């Protein structure tokens, strides 16, 4: 029971410390993206890749935003990893998708990418590629936000409540934040079933 009680206390602490103003700014970015007819490319690795797939569904179905997650096509992802290497998988996918100034990437990541530690180099490369094409860089990340926070336009950092549980909290709160966004009156176009 002690772990469960502690974990739930941490959840409450994180929820209270979430940066509401940055989440609102993220909502405004997504409204502007939809208004200019841009596409949203949601990037994540590991558990964040699963979150990316779910978020794409919600942004498309509930908000009317054209959205995609490169990790949804495991054949292309694994072929690119095998033939070209892991660091370039997102960059090459964005290149073929002709990412441009009307578009945005949304990074879902625990660490936000860090080349020095060789963590999520594909996210770092994707952020650089998006910036080079004048696309907006958005994110929901944990820890200090890594490269995504440093180089991004609007990146929400999930507060750290316990170093040993950064990953589960960051990935769980990615879902809290994107569900807040897709149910926001400024962004939501279609009601949920329940």
CATH code, residues 2-182: 3.40.50.10490
pLDDT tens-digit series, residues 67-86: 999 999 999 999 999 999 99
Q: What does the DSSP assignment read for 11-56?
A: HHHHHHHS-HHHHHHHHHHHHHHHHTT-EEEEEE-THHHHHHHHHH
Residues 6 or more apart whose Cβ sits within 8 Å of residue 174:
44, 48, 51, 55, 108, 140, 158
Q: Map out the domains of the chain as residue ranges.
A: 2-182
pTM: 0.96
Q: What is the largest CA-CA distance in the chain?
A: 51
Percent of the chain with pLDDT over 90: 98
Residue found under tokens 């209270």: 16
Residue 114, SS3 per DSSP: strand
**Residue 47 CA neighbour count, 13 Å, CB half:** 15
The residue-averaged pLDDT of 116-138 equals: 97
């Amino acid at each position: 029971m002690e772990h469960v009680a502690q974990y739930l206390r941490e959840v409450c602490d994180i929820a209270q410390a979430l940066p509401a103003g940055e989440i609102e700014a993220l909502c405004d970015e997504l409204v502007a993206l939809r208004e200019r007819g841009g596409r949203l490319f949601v990037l994540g690795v590991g558990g964040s890749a699963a979150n990316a797939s779910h978020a794409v569904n919600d942004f498309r179905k509930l908000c009317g935003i054209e959205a995609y997650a490169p990790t949804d096509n495991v054949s292309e992802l694994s072929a690119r990893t095998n033939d070209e290497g892991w660091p370039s998988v997102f960059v090459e996918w964005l290149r073929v998708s002709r990412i441009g100034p009307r578009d945005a990437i949304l990074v879902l990541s625990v660490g936000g990418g860090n080349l020095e530690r060789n963590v999520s180099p594909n996210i770092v490369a994707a952020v650089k590629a998006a910036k080079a094409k004048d696309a907006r860089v958005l994110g929901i990340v944990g820890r200090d936000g890594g490269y995504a926070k440093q180089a991004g336009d609007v990146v929400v950092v999930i507060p750290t409540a316990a170093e040993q549980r950064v990953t589960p909290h960051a990935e769980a709160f990615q879902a809290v934040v994107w569900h807040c966004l897709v149910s926001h009156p400024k962004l939501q176009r279609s009601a949920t079933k329940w």
